[in-house]
Amino acid sequence: MKRNLFLLALPAIFILTLLSGCNTKTKIGFLMDTTSLERWKKDKELFEKTAKGLGAIPIVRVADSDPNTQYKQAVELINEGIDVLVIIPVDLVKSCEIVKAAHAEDIPVISYDRLIKQCNVDYYISTDNINIGELQADYLSKVSPVGNYALISGPTTDNNTFLLHLGWLNILQPLIDKGDINIVIDKFSNFWLPDESYQLMKEYFKSGGKVDAIITGNDALATGAIMALKEFGYDGKVLVAGQDADINAVRNIVAGIQTITIYKPIESLIFAAVDAAIKIADGHAPSNLNITVNNGKKLVPAILLKAQVVTRQNIKMTVISEGFITEKELN
Ligand code: GAL
């Protein structure tokens, strides 16, 4: 009789086993600021591909740079039952509300690329952004150790903006103190987009200003500055640094109107984030944590990867050999 009951129960056991098998897939929420810039499109694609490849379920939302939208999207994902949240915060402090909401449901939070400040975020995965600022300033100041420099930062809602600026000054301050370098512009933008840097440089040139080097927070800001340089016939005569290795920026480097960009290893960063998310969901600590970073509230365990300078000379050895950009795309 017992044996018969067992046989009768077999289909149910089979179905339950299948269902519990489905449940073991980790659901990873990925909250993005924007996909309007090329680099974030790459992050999105790679996140979805990598998460699926590692057997997890990616759920992505894009806030279009609105912190309130990002909060609402976080609540949606929490209600959808995500196990871990990876977030590119729109706002470095407002996103603490998201961390609190996730923690209320025992969902760990990984701050991706940009650090969330002043709260108990669980992990941080990014590049060494102070070092990126140093790489930019070091390269330009070696080429032009004397002259007028313009510094164009991104928004103050992004912690990376401050880290980059710190890196720039780490290198430039001694030269400023010597009187060799003169900072003629030092401005933040509201968005990581070209318009404001274009207007800023245009007004500066209109008023008769001269500049030898422009260091910007990303390639979109660099592109805006280059638009103004073109209008005044200064393109190719002024050093320009950007960041992200956007295809347009790399083309400008080939054309000799942008000096450098910075290549962040996005594939490795995304892999690190997805891998960490899966490990945390399984109750383990992420592997490859290599530093802790103070966010004003705690020392956040972090993985910081190295970025590289891309120049006209090393395009093949960097972005092309890494498969980030193809030669075909460049032509
Ligand atoms: C920053 C990031 C930069 C750039 C920028 C534009 O946070 O560090 O690499 O992508 O956002 O969105």
Low-confidence ranges of the chain (pLDDT < 50): 1-2, 16-21
Q: Which long-range contacts (CB under 8 A, 24 or more apart) does 204-209 make?
A: 204/150, 204/228, 205/231, 205/232, 205/234, 209/148, 209/184, 209/185
Strand bridging mode 239-241 / 261-263: unpaired
C-alpha 82 – ligand 1 centre gap (Å): 25
Amino acid 163: pLDDT? 98
Average pLDDT, the chain: 94
Find out whether the beta carbon of 128 lies less than 6 Å from any atom of ligand 1: no
Instruction: Give nearest CA residue, ligand 1 atom 9.
Output: 244
Q: Tell me which CATH homologous superfamily contains domain 129-264+310-330.
A: Response regulator (3.40.50.2300)
117 lines ligand 1 (CB under 6 A): no
Report the largest interatomic distance among the alpha carbons of the chain, rounded to a whole angstrom: 98
Residue 20: the pLDDT is 47
Outline which parts of the chain fall under CATH 3.40.50.2300: 23-121+266-305, 129-264+310-330
Q: How many CA atoms lie within 13 A of 133 on its CB side?
A: 22
Q: Ligand 1 centre from 218 Cα, in Å?
A: 6
pLDDT for 331: 83
pLDDT at position 91, please? Answer: 97
Contact between 264 and 43 (Cβ < 8 Å): no
User: Does an H or E element contain 162, and which?
Assistant: helix 159-177
H helix or E strand, kind and range, residue 50? helix 38-53
On the CB side of 223, how many CA atoms lie within 13 Å of its CA? Answer: 17
Q: Which residue type sits at 28?
A: I
Q: Is 126 in the pocket of ligand 1 (CB under 6 A)?
A: no
CA distance 56 to 274: 9
Q: What is the pLDDT of residue 203?
A: 98
Q: Which CATH class is domain 23-121+266-305?
A: alpha beta
**pLDDT, position 24:** 81
Burial class (CB in 10 A: 0-12, 13-18, 19+), 97: middle
CA of 102 to the centre of ligand 1 (A): 24
pLDDT (tens digit per residue) in 80-133: 999 999 999 999 999 999 999 999 999 999 999 999 999 999 999 999 999 999
DSSP 8-state secondary structure symbol assigned to residue 83: S
**What is the number of the ligand 1 atom nearest to the C-alpha of 158?**
7
65 lines ligand 1 (CB under 6 A): no
Residue 42, ligand 1, Cβ within 6 A:
no
pLDDT of 10 reads 53
**Residue 4: per-residue pLDDT:** 57
Residue ID of nearest Cα to ligand 1 atom 1: 160
Is 253 close to ligand 1, i.e. is its CB under 6 Å away?
A: no
Mutate to test the pocket of ligand 1, among 160, 164, 197, 261 (most ligand atoms within 8 A of CB): 160
- Pocket probe for ligand 1: among 92, 158, 164, the residue whose CB has the most ligand atoms within 8 Å is 158
